[in-house]
Structure 1
Amino acid sequence: MKLGELLKSYRTEHKLSMDAFCELSDLTKGYISMLEKNEHPKSKKPIVPSYDTIEKIAKGMQISTEDLIDMLDDDQEIQINATPALLSKSPIQTIYDELEPPRQGKVLNYAKRQLDEQENEEETKINEVSEVIRLYSYDYYDHPASAGTGQYLNDVRVERIELPVDVDADFVIPIKGDSMEPDYHDGDLVFIQTSVDLNDGVIGVFNYNGDAYIKQLVIDEDQAYLHSLNPEYKDMPITPDTDFRIIGEVVDLYREK
């Protein structure tokens, strides 16, 4: 239906006079009469309502503007100079409408590919964020294992920390010093699996004469010693007189980026 027909039908159904609908819609009685007759009194041409008029009628009918527009005939004209953004065409739509069908198909195919790429990028970003925010909890000994001159590991406080990596480990400790560079740096966190028996060449944490060290265990035919990866540090021999205990094996490390 045309706007005037809808308006008159609504007033009749709800037994509203023009004066009553004037109060509901903020339109004048004379303009409501013109809309319902759909004829300009001077030019005798059909009335072309503005979007503002449609909004006021929708208000009077107590429905949304969009619902009222959906009820109108497809050929119902609305003043172009009063058309809001939601009714106006985008530049892309305007260009598309001017193209011939074969070229429209090309534009549509390209647009679909662009949309697919955009959705894939958004999904990738979501996955990346999900990976970053997934945290795993570990026991954390706040006293460092020395990659240098030794640190006491007795009576250290155990806390719980969360890290964005999943490692099969019994606890985590920080490293202090540079004796295990270039593989391990001061401030790195190392994941430890407790063990009392380690093989030759394994990196572990050891209690050496009361101090805790992160070193490489080397076992020769004649001797055993703790080896630093940094050549500036001397090997630490393990003898029958050494107070020596294996704390555990280093199975992974975490370094802040």
Structure 2
Amino acid sequence: MNILGNTIKTIRKSKKMTQTELAKLTGFKQNTISNHENGNRNLDEIDIRKYAEALGVSPQDLFDLSKPSTASPDAKNGTVQAINDKVVQLHPERQENVLGYATEQLEEQEKENRKVVSISEKKLEYEVRKRVEKSAPGKVSAGTGYWQEDDYDTIVSFYEDDIPDDDDYDTIAIVVGHSMEPKIKNGDFLFIKHTAQVDINTIGIFQVNGENYVKKLKDGYLQSLNPDYDDIQLTPDDEIRTIGEVVDVYRES
């Protein structure tokens, strides 16, 4: 059951926020948010922190709100009474807001109650997801580095709804190594937009002395997100070239 994704969706709707607006705050693509909310794509710790910050709650709040209620009938009745006590103190227009939100919640609950599918139906649902084939012409290192001529150059099958639009990226590369975990893992595919410069604190593809790395750009060095790996310190003697910015990460569920 996709409880955490449903919680993100519920909080977003309570703030009258669209998926597009949430995408701007988190840096995710709109289709990535849709997949997170629907349970088609897993959430890692960094994803959860981004959602919490964008929604104005703590990561722990997301987990707490996702826990099934264990309140007794008396406690639940007390909750209803507490809501009623608050509502009667509101101005009429604010009472309308509460009614609208409660109606949305009831409609969503009814839809979830109706969405009971058998294992075979669930399997069929995943089987009909459309896949597309894309060329992945290169490797990038999340470790010791790969020479430019060590190209991957193969055709890869992706779920179409899990990748960005063609206009949003220029090339695809496979990750080799573990230095960018947990955000980017060994075997992930990166969708890359070619650019000669990226902003500080942006994850990009950088060529240092002929080797291609996926790293986060910092002032004077390239950062490894995995604390078990060293950062790459940049010096005036290094040959450095920015290849592009990572716009999306694909990981087969």
Q: Pick the TM interval, shorter chain.
A: 0.3 to 0.5
Q: Which has the higher contact order (CA 8 A, sep 6+)?
A: 2
> TM-score, structure 2 length as denominator?
0.47
Q: Name the structure where helix makes up a greater proportion of residues.
A: 2
